[in-house]
């Protein structure tokens, strides 16, 4: 596949034939996977065939292969023009996202009690692939309350405070959730996992602000050099996974009736305004609310640990998803248009002045949270005016080795010793899980962030370094 360089940070994938919507990859050459070894570039091109697509199929610099869309993929379809919604443009872990909390604690103060904090977090944070969660729901009716109310419902039940909701995307709740569109199997899978990390690349990490690059924004976010933070990365667990699979099958069965053809069945889709499109939107919103409640509960469990083990409090900096489709209004061809914007492994990045931001963040823009790989830095970025890809930015470092390749490259025990020698306390669910998430399995997060900021998608606010990690 041929790439045409437009700028040092943007490459265009030409598309021949009647569908000439291009693919655009925001990356330096070394961050783009080779076509012979990774199908991600072909996925960018495939996404450009979706009915109603607007402008281009985009990919962030952390691009790598995913289900349907590449991870790092962004695409918008125009609702009024028969635009579609595709579960493959959201993924299995619906509303997977990142939450960042800032402590009233300096790194020098944490050092005295880091071991106790990490041991207590390891005991308090449920993780792994199976059941188990912080919140033991009374019955299915209470689960449906979670699906309808998200983090807002969790706070109403005593799990957090009103300020938390001000610092959440969508104030902690996605409108339009329809628990009735969620299958019994999905409900069963979600009932016993509320308030849990899961497995794979999900984590809870204790960090320190190593550098501040934008002092006014950092101050507005509540961050300062040397400050202790906690970053939580997780999503909608088995419930979201089941919803994705259920609705891919439903859409695959009706595409022909809607006159839709796609080059990859993982891009199964339906018009946003169809019955099938509406059903998925309702179920997806329910899963997004589950994910936001999930992170809210884990944040509260973390607060209790810091209160008892370090005599410290934690304030929420921000919580934002990176696997979601949203109905948004953007300017297209000089006119406002209602679009269905898919962000698959890509983060919403609202610019300064956006009305959806709380007043204290409106002058500086939305926090964009970009975790690195285990043992490497993470970043706090901010949205900018005129950012591309419908106001989107990268979401992480991006894989460059499969889990199998990573596990063959290093043992979990060796990796643990290496990380702890570098000053990172590790609490992992399994040795195999640690090896699969080795730092060398990921791209250089600093290079990914440099590409994203160089492309004008966001700006740098602060660089965070890890001191302890609880792995799923």
Give dist(CA 439, CA 62) in Å, integer.
14
CA torsion sign for 327, 100, 399, 382 is positive
Strand pairing partners for 209? Answer: 464
Reading the block at residue 302, the tokens are 């973390």
**Given the residues 64, 342, 395, 404, the one annotated as active site:** 395
Give dist(CA 338, CA 329) in Å, integer.
5
How far does Cα 155 stand from its chain's mean position? 22
DSSP 254-302: HTTTTT---SSGGG--EETTSHHHHHHHHHHHHHHHHHHHHHHHHHHHH
CB 460 within 8 A of CB 208: no
Q: Catalytic annotation on 159? A: no
* Of 174, 196, 206, the residue nearest 100 (C-alpha): 206
CB 225 within 8 A of CB 245: no
CA angle 395, 110, 123 (to 5 degrees): 70
Kindly list the catalytic residues. 395
């Amino acid at each position: 596949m041929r790439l045409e360089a437009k700028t040092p940070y943007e490459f265009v994938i030409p598309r021949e034939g009647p569908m000439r919507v291009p693919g655009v990859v925001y990356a330096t050459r070394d961050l783009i996977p080779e076509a012979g070894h990774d199908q991600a570039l072909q996925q960018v091109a495939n996404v450009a065939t979706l009915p109603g697509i607007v402008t281009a199929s985009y990919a962030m610099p952390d691009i790598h292969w995913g289900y349907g869309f590449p991870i790092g993929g962004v695409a918008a379809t125009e609702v009024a023009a028969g635009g579609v919604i595709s579960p493959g443009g959201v993924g299995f872990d619906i509303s997977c996202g990142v939450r960042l909390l800032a402590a009233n604690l300096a790194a020098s103060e944490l050092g005295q009690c880091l071991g106790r904090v990490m041991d207590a977090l390891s005991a308090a944070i449920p993780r792994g692939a199976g059941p188990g969660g912080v919140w033991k729901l009374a019955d299915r009716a209470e689960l449906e309350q979670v699906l309808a109310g998200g983090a807002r419902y969790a706070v109403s039940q005593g799990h957090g405070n009103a300020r938390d909701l001000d610092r959440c995307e969508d104030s902690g709740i996605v409108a339009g959730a329809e628990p009735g569109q969620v299958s019994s199997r999905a409900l069963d899978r979600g009932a016993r996992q509320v308030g849990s990390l899961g497995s794979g690349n999900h984590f809870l990490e204790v960090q320190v602000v190593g550098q501040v690059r934008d002092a006014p924004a950092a101050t507005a976010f509540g961050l300062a050099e040397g400050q202790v933070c906690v970053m939580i990365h997780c999503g909608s667990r088995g419930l979201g996974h089941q919803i994705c699979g259920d609705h891919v099958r439903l859409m695959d069965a009706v595409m022909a009736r809607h006159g839709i053809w796609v080059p990859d069945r993982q891009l199964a889709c339906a018009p946003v305004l169809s019955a099938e499109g509406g059903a998925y939107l309702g179920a997806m919103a329910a899963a997004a609310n589950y994910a936001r409640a999930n992170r809210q509960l884990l944040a509260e469990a973390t607060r209790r640990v810091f209160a008892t083990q370090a005599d410290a409090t934690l304030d929420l900096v921000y919580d934002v998803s990176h696997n979601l489709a949203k109905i948004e209004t953007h300017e297209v061809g000089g006119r406002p248009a209602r679009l269905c914007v898919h962000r698959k492994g890509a983060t919403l990045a609202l610019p300064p002045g956006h009305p959806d931001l709380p007043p204290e963040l409106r002058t500086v823009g939305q926090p964009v949270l970009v975790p690195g790989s285990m043992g490497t830095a993470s970043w706090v970025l901010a949205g900018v005016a005129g950012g591309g890809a419908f106001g989107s930015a990268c979401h992480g470092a991006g894989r460059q080795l499969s889990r199998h390749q990573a596990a063959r490259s290093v043992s979990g025990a060796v990796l643990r010793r290496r990380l702890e020698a570098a000053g990172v306390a590790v609490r992992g669910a399994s040795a195999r899980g640690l090896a699969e998430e080795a730092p060398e399995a990921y791209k250089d997060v600093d290079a990914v962030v440099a590409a994203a900021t160089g492309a004008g998608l966001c700006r740098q606010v602060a660089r965070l370094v890890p001191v302890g990690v609880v792995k799923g």
